[in-house]
Copies of this chain bind each other. A is one copy, B any other.
Amino acid sequence: MLPLSTCWDTMTPNKSHWRRWGRNLEQWAYRGLDQHLRVGITGLSGAGKTAFLTSLVHQLLHAEPQHLPMWQALSDGRLLGVQRQSQPDLALLPFDYDNAIAGLCANPPQWPPSTRGLSEIRLALRFAPAGGLKRQLIDHLTLYLDLVDYPGEWLLDLPMLNLEFADWSRQQWQMLSAPPWNETTGAWLAEVEQLSDEAGIEPLAAQYGSLLGELRQSLAATYLQPGRALLPAELAGTPILAFFPLSPQRLEQHDDPLVAVLRSRYDAYCEQVVKPFYRKHFARFDRQVVLVDTLGALDKGHAQITQMADAIQAIQQSFHYGPGSLLRRLFRPRIDKLLFAAGKADHITVDQHANLLSLTDSLMGQSGRLARFSGSKVETMVLSAIRASQQGQVDRGGLIPVIRGVDMAQQAVTRFPGEVPSQLPEPSFWQQQGFEFGRLAPPQLGSVQAPLPHMRMDHLIEWMLGDKM
């Protein structure tokens, strides 16, 4: 532990002094040269948002140059300290960092429980300016960093804003009636065809929500709308969520009153649920990290990884806001940097990282690693937020690279996970070769202050904060 984190960390004995000093700091926020950065963290369910955010906060609070070598301001010795602060939006759930860390310090250590909505945490980073005139005038500056996590499924609702109910309905009906989904959805589709009575809408809507959950569970389906049907939170039981697609035949009956009821709910969902999210939250982000569970999808099969690619490409639409686009007209987003991060890189051997990066790029439908949307600069990265394995080698008539860790049943394992393809593979890939991707238990964190092992979180921090410090 360096002096800087021992002297300006909330865990130090002389707490109240620094708290008071921190609060004075807060009053200086937005003043003159202090800066403010709001970063969105998202990913589809299971991508590891909570573990990522826990690690990011921990790395920042307990920053040590030898543990985060690529973070320039830290290795320059310009970081003076990092402190947690009160969150700015009081009506949001606070990100439960303490609970997540307590789980990692438990015996056996636990992965943090996943969150089900939007949460927020604020850090203040005090640093010395890099040089020049600024450095001569000021001995330190403060960067206020707000980290906000939210379900990636919410971004999948964006295309609904561009679609009338009838068009959305046709699109969804087609997806639901095609194999393999129709094995799960067949009975429900038939019931919708029989629907003749407004009182039948609520039960069919409830079944539609469960059906989307089943498709996600059993077929790893990801591109499911409306996103809130999967995580309704405070909207549970309200009519605004009680809609679903109708068959193309049904939609042609223009005087069918049930079409009108479902259309009005669809419209209300777009206006009162989707738009407010973009307006209140998305439009306030300066930067955005999208976590992508490429390895998890690769492990599951061809249909699953193809669906995830569709979902990732749909998510990218939220960052296409050139002049004149609907997004820009409606919400004026201002995200200047966008990162797609393929996580859980500790579950494969390091020699496969380049392939994982290339595969993630190919899922995104990008030819090169660096693209540029109107507005945001896009990068992809491979990382492990909380590293649960060590790299090793075993001799099998030649050294082959392996990973060593502890599986979820707390058994030590040595594993050769297999080769990661560099492009979206043909279906035959899953027949020909194995790919072993069993989940590993988190590493034991001896104490709250102990370094949390990771892979490339320093690259990520440099990407996120480098130009602001």
Write the residues of chain A forming the contact surface with B, with a CB cutoff of 8 angstroms. 15-16, 19-20, 23, 86-87, 90-94, 196-198, 233-235, 237-240, 257, 260-261, 264-265, 268-269, 272-273
Contact = CB atoms under 8 A, between A and B. Distances in A.
B233 A234 contact: yes
A262 to B, nearest CB: 11
Given A90-B264, A90-B269, A90-B272, 18 more contacts: A16-B197, A19-B197, A19-B198, A20-B257, A86-B198, A86-B239, A86-B261, A90-B268, A91-B235, A91-B238, A91-B272, A91-B273, A92-B238, A93-B237, A93-B238, A94-B237, A94-B239, A233-B234
B239 A23 contact: no
Contact of A238 (B90, B198, B233, B273): B90
A19 B256 CA distance: 11
A156 B87 CA distance: 28
A265 B260 CA distance: 43
B239 A87 contact: yes
Contact of A240 (B19, B91, B198, B269): B91
A238 B94 contact: yes
Nearest to A196: B16
Contacts of A234: 233-234
13 contacts: A19-B197, A19-B198, A20-B257, A23-B257, A23-B260, A86-B264, A90-B264, A90-B269, A91-B235, A91-B273, A92-B238, A94-B238, A233-B234
Given A19-B257, A260-B23, A265 B90 contact: yes
Contacts of A16: 196-197
A469 B87 CA distance: 53
A399 to B, nearest CB: 51
Contacts of A20: 257
A240 B90 contact: yes
A87 B47 CA distance: 38
A273 B91 CA distance: 9
Nearest to A15: B197
Nearest to A242: B90
Given A233-B234, A234-B233, A234-B234, A90 B19 contact: no
Contacts of A237: 93-94
A264 B16 CA distance: 19
Contacts of A269: 90
Contacts of A15: 197
A234 B118 CA distance: 12
A419 to B, nearest CB: 45
Q: Which of A92, A196, A198 has the most CB of B within 10 A?
A: A198
Given A16-B197, A19-B197, A90 B260 contact: no
Contacts of A257: 19-20, 23
Contacts of A238: 90-94
A90 to B, nearest CB: 4
Contacts of A268: 90-91
A197 B196 CA distance: 61
Contacts of A239: 86-87, 90, 94
Nearest to A261: B86
A293 to B, nearest CB: 27
A257 B15 CA distance: 13
Nearest to A24: B257
A264 B264 CA distance: 39
Closest 9 CB pairs of A and B: A234-B234, A90-B240, A90-B268, A23-B257, A90-B239, A91-B240, A91-B272, A91-B238, A93-B237
